[in-house]
Amino acid sequence: MEGTTMRVADFVDPGQVAARGDATRPSPEPGEVIVAVAACGICGSDLHMFRNGAYRDQLVRATPEGYHVPGHEFAGTIAAVGAGVEGWAVGDRVVGVTGFGGGMADYVAVPVNPFQLVPVPDGVDMIEAATTEQLADGLQMVRKATIQPGENVAVFGVGIIGLSVIQAIRARGIETGHVIAIDVHQARLDAARAHGATAAVNARDGDVFDQVAAITGTEEGYQGISARIGAVFDCAGYIKHMPGLPPLETALRLIDLNGGRIVCFGGYEDRMTIDFGPVIQKQPTIMGSNGYAAEELVEALAMMAEGKVDRSALVSHRFPITQAPEAFAAQCAPEAIKVMLTMDRN
């Protein structure tokens, strides 16, 4: 690698990201490669951090200058190979996933293991490839939910993760009843319909239970009332400034009287208060989902290569790394789905 410095996005404080051009370029440790990043997405967890500092200790990687670099979902080419690394070479096109940020930079070190480094197939461009981790997350959530034939499904929060859940359901050929997207932003609801949702519910238009029940009908019993939803994917979590019930409480209202599943993925910005009574009454399974199986990274890329999913359509904005502040501002806007930082080197 030529030169000793690189460009990075620096998370300074909530609401403040700076573009730096003098960060120290990393060198590979044994068992690592250095990836020359082509594109890196702003994740929902990055946005939680940007709003109020949530998860900061898990989402940034410090440079020797003290810059705190976010970014854990990216694609690029291998620029250097560390000692003991086999099966990888300079120039290989790869998807990288890091546990503690660092991807919003010209170069980032990535450990060589199947959870963090996978090859990009021919025909998949770098922008698409940089969305691999989110699709793999969606594939794991769908696997965990064990959707039964004909079941109605609800997806709370249809940013890139919720949309990935919908794409995963369709790409795996799962036979569902309704797939209902729930959000407060119309642009995202429109995208959900375009990528496989059968109905869209805007939480700003009234009680979510009532809106969903108007689509699916209701069922009543000694356990209470449900909106005939077999599986709920909570990709919204808890956002402190959003009015109304936390999505998890609404999910408990929606879920079937028996055998319902709720998969929780969205980040929680703080503690929250909810009515937990339906957990006793309906006996649903509530499970967390954090990441993916290694084979789901490969499956996600294969789906892109085979044209089973359209990932590029989910990238609503692209900014060069030198405009990192503008990129984070754009990701906060209601029309944004996925904002991508690119490391154009021309």
pLDDT given for residue 89 in this prediction:
98
pLDDT given for residue 78 in this prediction:
98
pLDDT given for residue 1 in this prediction:
46
CATH number of 58's domain: 3.90.180.10
In the beta sheet, which residues pair with residue 41? 340
Contacts of residue 236, defined as CB under 8 A and 6 or more positions apart, other chains included, come to 156, 157, 162, 183, 247, 266
Is 75 part of any domain?
yes
Residue whose C-alpha is closest to residue 172's, from 143, 132, 131: 143
Is 89 part of any domain?
yes
pLDDT given for residue 326 in this prediction:
97
pLDDT given for residue 38 in this prediction:
98
Q: How many domains does the chain have?
A: 2
Is 304 part of any domain?
no
My answer on whether 273 and 327 are in the same domain is no
My answer on whether 270 and 168 are in the same domain is yes
Give exposure, 203-241, as e/b (b: 16+ Cβ within 10 Å): beeeebbebbbebbeeeeeeeebbbbbbbbbbbbbbbee
My answer on whether 97 and 163 are in the same domain is no
pTM of structure:
0.93
Range of the domain at 111: 5-130+311-342
My answer on whether 185 and 207 are in the same domain is yes
Judged on CB neighbours under 10 Å (0-12, 13-18, 19+), 32 is buried
pLDDT given for residue 88 in this prediction:
98
**Residue-by-residue pLDDT tens, the chain, 346 positions:** 457 999 999 999 999 999 999 999 999 999 999 999 999 999 988 988 998 887 788 889 999 999 999 999 999 999 999 999 999 999 999 999 997 899 999 999 999 999 999 999 999 999 999 999 999 999 999 999 999 999 999 999 999 999 999 999 999 999 999 999 999 999 999 999 999 999 999 999 999 999 999 999 999 999 999 999 999 999 998 877 777 889 999 999 999 999 999 999 988 878 999 999 999 999 999 999 999 999 999 999 999 999 999 999 999 999 999 999 999 999 998 889 999 999 987 5
My answer on whether 69 and 92 are in the same domain is yes
H/E segment holding residue 299: helix 294-305
Is 296 part of any domain?
no
My answer on whether 28 and 111 are in the same domain is yes
CATH number of 276's domain: 3.40.50.720
- Torsion angle, CA of 40/45/50/53, rounded to 10 degrees? -140
My answer on whether 126 and 223 are in the same domain is no
My answer on whether 69 and 148 are in the same domain is no
pLDDT given for residue 73 in this prediction:
94
Is 121 part of any domain?
yes
pLDDT given for residue 58 in this prediction:
86
My answer on whether 62 and 151 are in the same domain is no
My answer on whether 114 and 188 are in the same domain is no
My answer on whether 213 and 118 are in the same domain is no
My answer on whether 212 and 146 are in the same domain is yes
